[in-house]
Amino acid sequence: MCGIVGVVEYAARQPNVEPDVLVRMSERIAHRGPDDSGWWLSHDRRCGLGFRRLAIIDLSAAGHQPMSTPDGRLTIVFNGEIYNHLELRRELESLGYRYRSRTDTETILYGYQEWGERIFEKMHGMWALAIWDDQRGELLCARDRIGKKPFYWWHRDGRFIFASEIKAILAHPAVERDIEWEELPNYLCFSMTSHERTLFRGVAKLPPAHILRLRADGTTELVRYWAPRFLPELQSITPTEAEEEILRLLRQAIADRMMSDVPFGVFLSGGLDSSINVALMAELMDRPVETFTVGYRDEERYNEHTYARQISRLFSTNHHEVLITERDALPLLETMVWHEDEPNGDPVCIPLYFLSQLTRSRGTIVVQVGEGSDEQFVGYPWMLREWRFGRTWWRYYHWLPRPLRSALYVIAKPFFQQRGAYRALDYMRRAADGDPLYWGGAVDIPPTYLELLFSRQWSDYARLPKMYARQLHAETARVLPNPTLLQRMVWYEFQHRLPELLLMRVDKITMAHSIEARVPFLDYRLVEFTLNLPDTIRIADGTTTKVLLKRAAERILPHHIVYRKKQGFAAPIDEWMRTVWYDYARQTILDSYFVRSGIFSRFAVQHLFYLLRSKQRRLGKSIYTLLNLALWHRRFFESRTT
C-alpha cells in the first residue's frame, strides 16, 4: 500500500518535469508511505513518477519504486496488493523472466511486458497504478475492478498529472483551484461526488475496472476491462450449495488477504461481517487474531462492545478497544477533511479515524474489514424496503398517467414539507418525473430540499442529481444482461456508493495512519457469484436482511451472533448535532462561503436546524454533509497552508 504521483509533459518542445515538483507532490501524501520514497525521470524528462512506500511485502530495498524493467523500457508506480502474485510469478519465471525482488510490483511489470493489458484480467487484488512505456512515449493507468484504491488525474495545456490523492495534484504549480460546481449538488444529495469527477474543477477520477491510456500525442482513451460475468448455471443452484460456495469463496478471499510481511488483524464491530472475518481468519492462524473495536462513551445504544467481546472470547483474539465522545471528535473534523481530499458526507469517518489510530499504535499495519457484504447480500433494511416497493406500490403507481402522478405530487408537497418529510416526498417526485425508484442508501439532501437550499439564481442545480441517477441506471443496464430489480440495485451501489463513499472512507482514513485495509467480501470472484444468484435465494422470504449469508454463517458462528438485530457501524450524529455540536455546526455553516456568497439560502440552513431540534427529524447526517463542505472549503480554498 503506497502513494503514487506522476507528471507527463507531452506538448512542450523541451519537456522538463522537475524532480522538486515530484518530491513536493509526494510529500503531500507521505502518510500513505512513511517507509520509503522515490522519484524517476524518463530520459527525455517528458515523464516523471513519484512514490511513497508503506512496506508490506518484501521489506527490503528491493521493493523500492518507481521500478523499471531491466531494459528500462517500462517503469511502474503501483499502490495496492496483488494476492495471486506468486502464482503469476511462477508462470512468468517459466517464460524466462528473472526477478530481483519478492514484490508483487515486479510481477505486474513483467506481466504487462508479457501479456499487455490482459494482465489486469489475471490479477486478484486491489490496485491503482501507472506504467510508462519509454519506447512509445505512452502512459497506461489502471484501477482495480471494484475501486478499492483511488486514482485521480488532471489533464490540461499539454500536461497530464495523476496521484493517489487530490492534494498531491494541487501541489503542482500548474494546477489552479476552483470548484466543480456541477458536482456540488451530487455531493449534497449523495454524500459524495460522481464516479467520474471530483469537487475540484478539472480533477477527474479513474472509474473502477477501467484503463486510461495517454498516448504520445496527448489523446486519451478510457476503456472498461472488466464487468461481472454472466453465469447461467447458477440459476439452478440450491440454497445449500450457494451457502457452501459462499463460505468456500470467503475462506479463499481471507486466506489470500493474509499475505503480509508485517502484523495484521481485523476491525471487529461484533456484527456479522467482521465476526465472519475473525472466525475464518482464526481457522488459518496458529496465533491469536488481533482485533480492534471502537465505541462511544456516552451513547451506549450505538455500541457493539458486548458482541465484539463475545467474538473475541470465542476465538481467543488479542482484543483492543477505544471509547470516544463527541468532544473528542469535534477538534478532528478539520484534520479529517484534509485527509478526505474532497468532502465525504459519512460521519463514520469519525470513529474510523480513532479505530485506525488505535490499530497503528498497537503495531498492526494491515487489517481486514467488512465493506461490501451488505451490498451483495442485501444487508440494509432500505434495500429490502425499496425492493418490495419496486414490485408492488411503485409498479402500480406507474400505471397512473404521468399527468395524474404530477398532480398528486403537487397536492402532497405542502403536506410533506410542513412535516419536514422531504425524503419521503422525494419518492413521489421520482414517480412524477419518471425517475428510477432506487437512488441508493446515501441520499442526504434530496432534490425536494435542494430546491429550497439553493438560492433562486442557483435553482437549476437542484435537478442535477436526478440526471446522475438516471446515468447510473443506464450504465447498469449496459453492464448487466437483462438485470432483475435486485441486480440493478446491487450494481447501482457497486458503481457509486461503494467505491466513492465507503471504500474511499476506508482508504483515506486508514491511510491517514499508514494502515492498509483489505476487503475480502469484495473479492471479484465472490462478487460475480453472488450477483448471479437468483433473487429467491438471495432474498428468500423478502423480509430478512442478509438471509443467505446468515444461513452460511450458522456453520461457523453462534446463532445469537448470526441472528441478532442489525445495528450497523454508525456514529451518533443526530445526538451530537442536537447537543454539543449544535451551535458550532450552525454557526460554521451560516458563516461559510456557500451561505455568504448567496449560493445557499440562509433560511433553508436555519430550517434544517429547526427540523432537527423541534421536529426531532433525523437530519444530523444532512447537517454533517453541509458542515463537512464548509470545513472543506475553509481548508482548501480559504487557508493558505494546504
| Residue 396, domain member (yes or no) | yes
* pTM exceeds cut of 0.75: yes
Residues 27, 165 within the same domain: yes
pLDDT at position 259 is: 86
Q: How confident is the model at residue 289 (pLDDT cuts 50, 70, 90)?
A: very high
Same domain, 33 and 176: yes
Element (H, E) at 511: helix 503-511
pLDDT score of 31 more than 70: yes
Looking at the structure, tell me whether residues 624 and 550 fall in a common domain. no
Greatest alpha-carbon span in the chain: 74
The answer as to whether 567 is a domain residue is no
Last residue of a domain, one of 460, 491, 522: 491
Residues composing the chain = 642
Q: What is the DSSP letter of 62?
A: G
Residue for grid cell 483492543: 320
Q: Is 370 a residue whose pLDDT tops 80?
A: yes
Average pLDDT (600-619) is: 90
Catalytic residue among 2, 47, 141, 349: 2
Q: Do residue 289 and residue 213 come from a single domain? A: no
Same domain, 410 and 525: no
Q: How far is CA 69 from the centre of its chain?
A: 32
Say what the pLDDT of residue 390 is: 87
* 221 phi, psi to nearest 5 deg: -140, 130
- Both 43 and 184 in one domain: the answer is yes
Given a cut of 90, whether residue 297 has pLDDT beyond it is: no
Give the DSSP letter string of 510-523. Answer: HHTTT-EEE-GGG-
What CA–CA distance (Å, rounded) separates 166 from 635? 13
Inform me whether the pLDDT recorded for 358 exceeds 80.
Answer: yes
Does residue 166 sit in the same domain as residue 20?
yes
Number of domains observed in the structure of the chain: 4
Are residue 43 and residue 152 in the same domain, yes or no? Answer: yes
Confidence of residue 420 (pLDDT cuts 50, 70, 90): confident
Q: At 93, is the pLDDT very low, low, confident or very high (cuts 50, 70, 90)?
A: very high
Q: Would you state the pLDDT for residue 482?
A: 85
Residue after which a domain boundary falls, among 178, 203, 224: 224
Report CA torsion sign: 400, 403, 409, 412.
negative
Host domain of residue 38: 2-224
Average pLDDT rounded to a whole number, residues 218-243: 94
304 confidence band (pLDDT: 50, 70, 90): confident
Identify the pLDDT of residue 477: 86
DSSP class per residue in 368-417: E--TTHHHHHT-SHHHHHHHHHHHTHHHHHTTS-HHHHHHHHHHHHHHHH
Please confirm, yes or no, whether 189 is among the known catalytic residues: no
Region 541-558: mean pLDDT is 91
Q: How many helices (H) and strands (E) does the chain have?
A: 31, 17
Q: Give the CATH number for residue 354.
A: 3.40.50.620
pLDDT at 273 over 70: yes
**416 lies in the same domain as 439:** yes
CB 295 within 8 A of CB 567: no
pLDDT of res. 527: 97
Using 50, 70 and 90 to split pLDDT, how confident is the model at 544? Answer: confident
Give the pLDDT confidence of 39-76 residue by residue, as tens digits: 999 999 999 999 999 988 877 888 899 999 999 999 99
Residue 555 lies in a domain: yes
Which residues is 294 bridged to in the sheet? Answer: 322
The CATH number of the domain holding residue 86 is 3.60.20.10
Q: Sheet harboring 210-214: ordered strands across?
A: 67-68, 74-82, 125-133, 138-143, 210-214, 220-224
Note the pLDDT of residue 212: 98
In 3D space, the residue among 44, 49, 71, 68 whose CA is nearest the CA of residue 3 turns out to be 49
User: What would the DSSP string read from start to end of 18-47?
Assistant: -HHHHHHHHHTTGGG-BSEEEEEE-TTSSE
The pLDDT-based confidence of 262 (bands split at 50, 70, 90) is: confident
**pLDDT, the chain, mean:** 93
Please give the DSSP secondary-structure letter assigned to residue 13.
S
* Set of cell numbers at residue 195: 464516479
Quote the DSSP letter at residue 200.
B
pLDDT band, very low/low/confident/very high, at 617 (cuts 50, 70, 90): confident
Q: Distance of CA 221 to CAs 479, 550, 630, Å?
A: 19, 43, 35
Question: Is 548 part of any domain?
Answer: yes
Quote the pLDDT of residue 57: 80
- By the 8 A CB rule, do 422 and 189 touch? no
Label residue 640 by pLDDT band (50, 70, 90). Answer: low
Does residue 631 or residue 392 have the better pLDDT? Answer: 631
C-alpha Rg value of the chain to the nearest Å = 24
Confidence of residue 389 (pLDDT cuts 50, 70, 90): confident
Q: Does the residue 179 lie in any domain?
A: yes
Q: What is the mean pLDDT of the segment spanning 162-169?
A: 98
Whether residue 395 has pLDDT greater than 90: no
Nearest to 498 by CA among 162, 226, 145: 145
Where does a domain end: 529, 562, 595?
A: 562
> Phi first, then psi: what are they for 347, rounded to 5°?
-70, -5
pLDDT at 564 over 90: no
Report the range of poorest mean pLDDT among 41-55, 250-264, 290-304: 290-304
Question: Is there a domain that residue 189 lies in?
Answer: yes
1: pLDDT strictly greater than 70:
no
Answer yes or no: is 568 within a domain.
no
Strand, helix or coil for residue 599? coil
Neighbours of 187 (CB within 10 A): 25
Same domain, 342 and 388: no
- With CA atoms as reference, report the closest residue to 536 among 477, 487, 488, 492: 487
Element of type H or E holding 113: helix 104-115
Read off the amino acid at residue 207: P
pLDDT given at position 332: 92
Contacts for 604 with CB less than 8 Å, ≥ 6 apart: 449, 452, 453
Take residue 345 and report the three cell numbers written for it.
458526507
What are 537-541's contacts with CB under 8 Å, separation 24+? 537/237, 537/239, 537/242, 538/377, 538/378, 538/486, 539/378, 539/384, 539/387, 539/486, 540/239
For 417-482, give the DSSP string.
HHTT-HHHHHHHHHHHHT--S---S---S-HHHHHHHB-GGGGGGGGHHHHHHHHHHHHHHHHSSS
Do residues 342 and 385 both lie within one domain?
A: no
- For the cut 90, the answer to whether the pLDDT of residue 141 exceeds it is yes
Residues 34 and 153 in one domain: yes
Q: What is residue 616's predicted lDDT score, i.e. its pLDDT?
A: 75
pLDDT band at 568 (very low <50, low <70, confident <90, very high): low
Under 8 Å between Cβ of 401 and 436: no
Inside any domain, residue 617: yes
User: Which pLDDT does position 642 carry in this prediction?
Assistant: 63
Report the distance separating Cα 217 and Cα 577, nearest Å. 52
Q: Cell 419496486 appears where? A: 390
pLDDT class for 569, splitting at 50, 70, 90? confident
Q: Kind and range of the H or E element at 328?
A: helix 326-329
